Structure 1
Amino acid sequence: MKKLRMLVRWLNDKLARKFLYSFKSTILSVYIPIIIFFIFITGMASYLLAAAQIEDNAYRNINTIVFQTGNYLDNRFADALQQLTALSNEPDILTVMNKDPEDISPEDYLKVQSHVNGIRSVNGTLIDSIYINFHNGKFIFFRGDDSSTMIKFIYMQYRSRYKDNPYDVYWQNSHLGYEKGERHVSLFKLFGKENAKINGIILFNLRYDFFEKVFSSSLLNKSGYLMLVSPEEIMTFKKIDEKYQVNSEVVKQLQQAKTREGQLEFDNPQGKKMVVIYNTLLTNQWKLAAVFTQDEILDRVRYIKYITLSLIVLLVIVAVFLTNVLAIYITKPISVLTDSMKRIQGENINFVSDTHPLNEMGVLNQGVEDLVERVKNLVEQINIDQETKRQLEFSVIQTQIHPHFLYNTLYSIKGLCDMGLNEDASAMITALSNFFRVSISCGKEIISVEEEMSHIRNYLFIQEMRYGDAFSYEINVKPDILSYSIVKLTLQPLVENAIYHGVKQKRGIGWIKVNGYEQDGLLCFEVQDNGLGMSHERLQEVRGSLNNRGFGLEKVGLGVRSVHERLQLHYGKEAGLQIESKLNEGTIVKVIIPMKQLEDKLDA
């Protein structure tokens, strides 16, 4: 009968779950796809419209930047061209040009200087320097902030290169006449022909920082930049990553472009699409181009895409949630039991049951509740067994320590008696009796801090008597913590460890200090020695052994490990030992106990 009832219960459970799954899946499979379809269509339509508008606006903005910057440069270039034309037509300039070099006087230099200074005072933000050279270098005049910008002018070199303009006015964006590597934008007028008696040049050097300011003020993205494209070369005024630079093919297309404005596209070495939007300057027919990556200029499009996809996902989640709410409401009797089962995981084994009618669900609910209750009883029994095991381990430690210590102490007392040092022997016997009195403590595991201090004082006195001047000790404990209660034998194993594994292993006189104080809500004790200490690798092994319960006893020792585990057992994971050590310098073992976990004062 018992087996039959178990079989019936299992079949009922299977049928109930199958019914729940079938009914709930029908609701979800019908409504959710329909809702997702309409949400997806609406979201994608919105995204495509917004993306198209943003892309169009992005390109319009770039075109506007190129157009406005080009207009500004055209105006400034026109001003410089006007000043050059006016200077070249000045009677004083023409007089110097037509004079024989031997007839040019200092007064002529002063007149030229007056005209040049007037031009620089009006256009100082654009014109960096003015250079005049007539009669094959017999008349040279230069005015500028930096003399290094003065060119090395050779008339035939310039005339052979520049001869197509009927007004002999040219724009230069090359290194001709300058030191190798220097970059200059110049406007100049040539005078005379190849074999003419009169020849020369008037040259305006434009400020490089003028272009830097104009080009850096453009509101392009981080990889975008503006560049000037002349027939000789290109000039950029921003540090550009190599992967964003235009290639020679694109430069050639810009230099040969017949249209005033336009757009080019190319792929950089990394495979990203680059876009070039250009406009032509009317003053000198140079091209002003904006270069940028298509991905970065369309960041807003990606932003809209992510927002749209996030909104679609959010709406789908809401739709699924609401549909599930409906399905849960319909299938509530079985769902309640399922949710209760899901809550049983890890250390949480509390089964919260609802009242069910006396049918198959009620039987199933009662069976699960009985099973959980039995599991809880087993877990509690296991915890009790583990606690008993730890207490037995602690008793074993005490049993191992005390006989050996008692034997050595009694042997030392015998030695004192043999030497006739009865008073010292009596003092050791008194300390020994007090030591064991605290150790026994009528079976109590919790004692006061004052008793624990008395315990280690007796222990240190006995050891000092045994080893003579091999070490000294000092105990400093704040009086206001003496009435607190702590786990018995917390400090004695640490002091013992400091003696046998610290000061005894090092030559010379050792010392041991025991400190006790309260700090930042913690009760702290420190056992410090100047013994052998530990290497960094050994210290890491000891720390790892303390934190890896049940393993690595050979790394740290049974007594110290027992102290650490008993502290955590009584006061939680925040309590325990902290160890600092340096080889040949000593060791500090710190006991940490949270004040909120301490028991009340014994006198309370």
Structure 2
Amino acid sequence: MHGVGHVKKQGGSMWIKRFFGESLYRRLILYFTLLMMIPIITAGSLIYRASDVRISDSALRLAAQVVEKDCESVAQVLNAMQSTANYVTADLEVQSILQETSFWEDTCDGTRIAALNARLQQLSKMHPEIDGIYLCFDNGKIARSRYYNIRQGYEQVRMSTEQYWSIRNHEDIQWMVSEEGSFVVDNMNNPVLGAARLMPLGKNGKSCGIVVVEVRQTYLNKVMRGDLGQRGVKYLQFERQGILLHEAEAGEQVIESAILRLKENAQQEKSKTFILRDRIILSNFLPIAGWRVVGIVFKSELRDESQSVFTIFLFITLLTFFINVVLSRFLADFELQPIRKIQNYIRKVEKGNFGYPLSPDRLDEIGDLAVSTQEMSVRIGELIETLKMEQERMRTAEFKALQAQINPHFLYNSLDSINWLIRRGDGEKASKMISALTTFFRIGLSKGHDVIPLQEELEHIRSYLAIQKIRYESQFEYLIYSSDEIHNCLVPKLMLQPLVENALYHGIKPCERKGMLIIQALLIDGHIEIEVLDNGAGMDGDTLNALREAILHTGQNKTNSYGVVNVNDRIQILAGTEYGLSFTSEQGTGTSVKIILPATQKGD
């Protein structure tokens, strides 16, 4: 599996290299994109990071201000409750009613309770936040500012007997919480916060009951209206309990954890902040009641604005990317246009159009390159023309040198034959040989031409064979045949003589029987095909291969067939490498030499 992963990774790397390595256009788009996107992404990331820290810090400060403001609002409510309780205890009208002896008698007709109720209603209007004021007396009588039904008996009042007497025996305000409704009346189970103290009777301060001032928790929710986010929580903490003042998604475990942490660490510090993994706990101390206003803020909500900034940044980045791709394509096309023009120009030069004009579109480095490219192509064209002329001169010189090698070679053999006839005393044959030799050289000179009509070349070889027939009269016969349609086709002069000479000396002469030499020239598939065929000794395989290698110049010439090699070289110099000689031979049967030439008429 590791090997497979390595192969996949290597294949992906090769694909990327091939994708960008084969196209300058793609690389330019990549470079333009990187040059534009890297600074934008880097700057955007730094800005987002800085803004995220600033926004988070600002949101945290705002949350702390919200908790502090709510703490002030709650303190005002608690002060109103405390001052109301104290005011009731010192109110002269209330004290006047309580000091009447008839009030404490069991036969009291209730007018005194009604008077107290009316007075309590008046006092409750001093602070609209007060939900109810209640006087609970030791004799079981209760006065109230609200018209809710009184709970029957102390066993129905939401405080224990111990709690009642604890309040009755202390002048300090005691704070109470009831999640199930009012402590005194049936207010349909609306949770309340209560402030209670003893009710003194007269100047001597003798206690005769308690004063209870209540505020609904819904009102506390109203005054604590600061927003801590969708999941944020605010509550009042008293000892190990708390009044939840804001509906939120946080579970009880989160609140209990915060209460416990504050109980263990906050003590009576005015404000305290705890930064946890996923949330922050903010608290402010209320000295009047020993309570705390606590806010729980989740870090994810502090970063809501940061997420908005990130979304905007992401949108701008994507938009910039698409704009960059379009601009990069335009810029890449603009930069590559003169380079593509140079490429097209070079393709034309490759086809031999060296004089094709190339005008520079710019004055920059690419423009200089266009000018240099055109100058180079013109110079290359001139050099090629010069090289062609030099090669033509070299081919002509080489052809002359090869032709010069043939003429002395044949002259030597011819003079040797005439010498042999004279020595033998056969003057008539010697005369015929000299006449034939004269015709041979007359045609061979051809007024200096390198190529002659095929008819003249065949006449030339007839003169040669006439000479050889005088020398070897009884050893061979010959036949020359040609198509009339190719008589005027041009061929290299002195082309057949070396081949016929080899056929006579190396093919027919070594045989004891009389030989036959056939020369035929035909037009086949648009080419001239001349065959020199003898029924002489032939060649073995090694000699035939050596001869083939000699004319191809691929091996050492061990056959002493310089004349045949010269003929092949002359044909290829004049006509091209696709033309020349080919050999077939079988030892004891004979040899065939074929010459392939272009059918070029005089004047073509």
TM tier, smaller: 0.3 to 0.5
TM score, norm. by length of structure 2: 0.45
The structure number with the bigger radius of gyration is 2
